[in-house]
Amino acid sequence: MFCSLWAIGQEKSTLAKPNYALAAKFSPSRLSTMIYSTEVNPNWINFGDKFWYEYRSSAGKRYYLVEPAAKRKQELFDPAEMAAKITSIVRNPFDAQHLDIRNLRFMEKNENLIRFEVQSTKDTVKSKEEIKKLTNKSDTIKKKLFYFEYDINSKNLRELSDTTKEKNRLFWANFNPDTSKVFYAKDYNLYWMDYANYKKALKDEKDSTIVEHQFTTDGVQYYAWGGDEYSVTNGDKKSEDEEKKKRKPVWLNWSPDGRHFILSRKDNRNLNALWVINNVGGKRPTLETYKYLMPGEVDSTEQHLYIFDAANLKPRQINVAAFKNQTLSIWGKDRSKENYKGKHYISYWLGNNEEFYIARSSRDLKRIDVVAVNVNGNTRTLVEERSNVYMDIKKPYFVNNGNQFIHWSQRDGWGHFYLYDKQGKLLHQITKGEYHCDELSNYNEGTGNLYFKANGVDKKLDPYYTQYYSVNKNGGAIKLLTPGNFDHVVLTPESGNYFVDNFSRVNTAPVSNLYNANGQLIMKLEEADLSQLFAAGYKFPEPFKVKAGDGITDLYGVMYKPFDFDSTKTYPIIEYVYPGPQTEAVNKSFGRSMDRIDRLAQMGFIVVSVGNRGGHPSRSKWYHTYGYGNLRDYGLEDKKVVAEQLANKYSFIDINRVGITGHSGGGFMSTAAMLVYPDFFKVAVSGAGNHENNIYNRWWSERHHGITEKVSSKGDTSFNYQIEKNSDLAKNLKGKLLIVTGDIDNNVHPANSIRMVDALIKANKRFDFLLLPGQRHGFGDMTEYFFWKMADYFSEHLLGESKFNQVDMVEMNRDKPLSR
């Protein structure tokens, strides 16, 4: 008996203590002062290869101009000199380290000139146009904005009148190819106005002299030609009527010659509604109503494709029906120099004047066709993809002057590229092997080389590290353009002659380099300044590799330790989870997102995130669809065996104190873990979980779990959906569970959490529930509050200590100035 008591006391003495101060030290607000720029985002100048970028470090923000062909990088201006010039005009003091420049852009006709804006503290009267838009007409004062033009060569800075300010394109404007007309939606119908009236709208959208032309008349709410057919209503008729009168964008695509445009339309009036109540949004709680299609529900209407003749603006329906409840993907051309006329972007369809290309997918996503549609209404199927599990589709890439196209498919179990001729004849497979090809970034017509991103080519590297490759369309060996054991994010100009490579791992500082299309280094651009972060005590997390529950499949994860880690102590282990399948919550590169992983570890835990079979699509199709038909339990075994393997390897992990947490799909998974392995997982904090996937949205649930299509002897098609729910296992709960949801979450409806709560009550279980008022799926401005509730919960139930008994969250209050 003496030995047992001694052992218990010894265990408690080596158990880590909750460290609130260390976790508070790395709050989001404090991290913003310790992490600066971590990547170069090139602003390509006038669709060319030259670019400018801004980059921030502990010395302030700097602006650079890069000319790849000349292998030259220079500052756009001397920051101290610019600060002095701006100060003398604005009359507010600026210095080189605190120079707040806004909306910087290069001029199109003279690339030696840049324009930008600077905010002052000087009061000025708002313009007549701004005052017209005010609801409170007395609010006529604003802080003056100064407009500048700077000559890079002469270093001359001059102030511009605010009348020279470039008007932003109105978000609802869709221009025809000669930019003579602007198309948009209003009151669920289609309208156009000429360019002269559009210029009036640029000055004042409420100008009563604007002439508009309506050319459809039968659009209504939920059966609209454009203008938010999934609109939300809140019972306020006045505001809803005002909303109907507003101009809104319409997603139409034009033929290159401007003679036709296309769009799709679907009748959603019979789809069931869903509701949330906003209890804190105003004096009177409001009811929000919106359409929401749940899995397995009957969809009585189909998506229709229409083509309009631009001369008479009459719609004609094109028959592209092949499957019941099919989905149409209407492809547009990528943004490029040819898409811009003047300063306006034209939405062209993918194709030529006579033919455009779409995809149609069956409801179960097991059948996908790439279809060519002629303006006369004739169709021809170019590619048929068929599978026993759901499939993905990507837009084809046309090459060889439009006579061939590159098609992406997972038909051999891996994502690869295939070359077809324009008639839909397969010429050959371009890439082949046990690796995953993804985005096709560029194609060189002269050489026939395509440039693309891929994962898992080098078997020595983490398969989630994205690399950049090239290969000829005729096939052959692929060429690595971004060597190194890093995750790479590549950005290219339209020409494809160069690329900016931002690369890092979770345990390296981000670096940005410039390369030519052959992968030759042109210059090193930047390395992130993490000096202040390390000065505060930050330490990199540790990547690891383990086996899945089958003992064969490799899983890749990251371990986060407290920055005051002591190997003589023991720590509970907490898994941060997100099951996918569309992604995995495992960081691969260095980033700012430390809220729920890095910072939680500082409380006194070992926190790990790791993939699971049925997760990320950047591996094999087998791996990605492992959970098909078992969307509740498929990833849980892997989460369990990962914790066991790590505990076997590291003596500082206490395998008897296992926690689990996650958000959305991770909220669902963390609760499921507590119910499927109730003797292993001891504590869970589940945020915004889709605990009952039978009431989550149709797209995600049917796609990843599967739906059965049945055709009767009469030829009628119906769909059957069955899925296991967390609430079915409520009786299994043994550990401590905190369920959290926002009360106006219109993504994962609060009913998911409330039904889980209902099942736990009926099973006579003790648990905890937190409702965040006025919060949607991401918890908004209560995210920080949620973090500390989670920290308290894990500290109390895994470490045996917390600040449960303290009313004030002093860690949050310290970062907030007191109001007078």
In a domain, residue 628? The reply is yes
DSSP class of 718: E
Q: Examine the domain organization and report whether 113 and 47 are in the same domain.
A: yes
Please report the DSSP string for 579-618 in residue order: --SS--S---S--S--TTTHHHHTTT-EEEEE--TT--TT
In a domain, residue 510? The reply is no
Confidence of residue 308 (pLDDT cuts 50, 70, 90): very high
Average pLDDT over residues 495-517: 97
Q: Examine the domain organization and report whether 15 and 89 are in the same domain.
A: no
Question: What is the spatial distance between Cα 161 and Cα 89, in angstroms, rounded to a whole number?
Answer: 13
Of the listed ranges 54-68, 553-567, 711-725, the one predicted with least confidence: 711-725
Q: Is the pLDDT of residue 786 over 60?
A: yes
H or E element that contains 62: strand 60-67
Q: In the chain, pLDDT over 70 holds for what percent of residues?
A: 95
For residue 211, what are the CA distances in angstroms to 173, 188, 196?
Answer: 15, 18, 9
Average pLDDT over residues 535-540: 96
In a domain, residue 152? The reply is yes
Q: Examine the domain organization and report whether 81 and 146 are in the same domain.
A: yes
Contact 281, 775 (CB under 8 A): no
Q: Examine the domain organization and report whether 18 and 130 are in the same domain.
A: no
Question: What is the spatial distance between Cα 477 and Cα 68, in angstroms, rounded to a whole number?
Answer: 28
Average pLDDT over residues 514-525: 98
Average pLDDT over residues 190-214: 96
**Range of 612's domain?**
9-33+538-696+775-813
Question: What is the spatial distance between Cα 99 and Cα 542, in angstroms, rounded to a whole number?
Answer: 37
Q: What was the pLDDT predicted at 134?
A: 59
pLDDT digits (tens, 9 = 90+) for 641-669: 999 999 999 999 999 999 999 999 999 99
In a domain, residue 691? The reply is yes
For residue 766, what are the CA distances in angstroms to 304, 678, 759, 772?
Answer: 51, 14, 11, 20
Single-letter residue type at 423: Q
Confidence of residue 279 (pLDDT cuts 50, 70, 90): very high
Q: Which two tokens stand for residue 630?
A: 């078992």
Q: What was the pLDDT predicted at 226?
A: 92
Q: What was the pLDDT predicted at 6?
A: 37
Q: Examine the domain organization and report whether 557 and 644 are in the same domain.
A: yes
Contact 649, 547 (CB under 8 A): no
Contact 510, 589 (CB under 8 A): yes
In a domain, residue 755? The reply is no
Average pLDDT over residues 743-764: 97
Single-letter residue type at 37: S
Q: What is the mean pLDDT of the chain?
A: 93
164, 195, 218 — which closes off a domain?
A: 164
Q: What was the pLDDT predicted at 805?
A: 87
- Which pTM was predicted? 0.93
Contact 668, 633 (CB under 8 A): no
In a domain, residue 157? The reply is yes
Q: Is the pLDDT of residue 22 over 60?
A: yes
Q: Examine the domain organization and report whether 668 and 785 are in the same domain.
A: yes
Contact 383, 358 (CB under 8 A): no
Confidence of residue 235 (pLDDT cuts 50, 70, 90): confident
pLDDT digits (tens, 9 = 90+) for 78-111: 999 999 999 999 999 999 999 999 999 999 889 9
- Contacts for 670 with CB less than 8 Å, ≥ 6 apart: 577, 660, 661, 662, 684, 685, 686, 689
- From 299, 245, 247, select the one nearest 269 (Cα to Cα): 299
Q: Examine the domain organization and report whether 157 and 17 are in the same domain.
A: no
Of the listed ranges 5-9, 254-258, 456-460, 553-557, the one predicted with least confidence: 5-9
User: For residue 684, what are the β-bridge partners?
Assistant: 660, 737
Confidence of residue 40 (pLDDT cuts 50, 70, 90): very high
Confidence of residue 593 (pLDDT cuts 50, 70, 90): low
In a domain, residue 468? The reply is no
In a domain, residue 709? The reply is no
User: For residue 638, what are the β-bridge partners?
Assistant: none
Contact 634, 601 (CB under 8 A): no
For the chain, the straight-line distance linking the first and the last C-alpha, in angstroms and rounded, comes to 60
Q: What was the pLDDT predicted at 240?
A: 81
Q: Examine the domain organization and report whether 666 and 629 are in the same domain.
A: yes
Say which CATH number the domain at 629 has. 3.40.50.1820
Contact 599, 417 (CB under 8 A): no
Q: Examine the domain organization and report whether 130 and 15 are in the same domain.
A: no
Q: Examine the domain organization and report whether 570 and 592 are in the same domain.
A: yes
Contact 251, 222 (CB under 8 A): no
Q: Is the pLDDT of residue 11 over 90?
A: no
The total number of structural domains that make up the chain: 2
pLDDT digits (tens, 9 = 90+) for 236-247: 778 788 888 899
pLDDT digits (tens, 9 = 90+) for 406-457: 999 999 999 999 999 999 999 999 999 999 999 999 999 999 999 999 999 9
Average pLDDT over residues 150-157: 96
Confidence of residue 595 (pLDDT cuts 50, 70, 90): low
Q: Is the pLDDT of residue 5 over 90?
A: no
Q: Examine the domain organization and report whether 660 and 792 are in the same domain.
A: yes
Q: Examine the domain organization and report whether 148 and 21 are in the same domain.
A: no
Q: Is the pLDDT of residue 4 over 60?
A: no
Evaluated on CA atoms 336, 341, 342, 346, the torsion sign reads negative
109, 129, 164 — which closes off a domain?
A: 164
Q: What was the pLDDT predicted at 168?
A: 75
Q: What was the pLDDT predicted at 818?
A: 65
Q: What was the pLDDT predicted at 311?
A: 96
117, 147, 164 — which closes off a domain?
A: 164
Q: Is the pLDDT of residue 2 over 50?
A: no
DSSP class of 334: P
Question: What is the spatial distance between Cα 660 and Cα 677, in angstroms, rounded to a whole number?
Answer: 12
